[in-house]
Amino acid sequence: MSEETTKTVTTVLLIAIFLGMIIFIALKARNNRESMLKDRAPKVAGEDELEGGARHPQRFDEPDDEALEEMAKLLGEESDDDEA
């Protein structure tokens, strides 16, 4: 091959590689941006999964007397014991 042909082939090859890299970077940037926006979007009730849980969830089924008294106090209600 002549020197001119070698330069032309090399130039075309480098331009193709450069354009390929630009396309790759643009696609990667768009994917990263979409991913970031999705992760940072406001959570709507019911759409997000909460991790973890209570160790003994059955103990929260029925409130104990202390919890009932505290709720009555917060609501401003007098208990039957205090009125007597």
Domain ranges of the chain: 1-41
Closest CA to 65 of 76, 51, 81: 81
Predicted pLDDT of residue 84: 45
Structure tokens at 21: 């890299």
Quote the radius of gyration of the chain (alpha carbons, Å).
34
Predicted pLDDT of residue 42: 82
Provide the 8-state DSSP code for 49: P
Structure tokens at 31: 């994917």
pLDDT tens digits along 51-81: 777 788 787 788 888 888 998 899 987 655 5
Closest CA to 66 of 57, 74, 58, 54: 74
Q: How far apart are CA 41 and CA 17, in angstroms?
A: 36
pLDDT tens digits along 13-50: 999 999 999 999 999 999 999 999 988 888 777 776 77
| Residue 4 pLDDT > 90 | yes
Give this prediction's pTM: 0.49
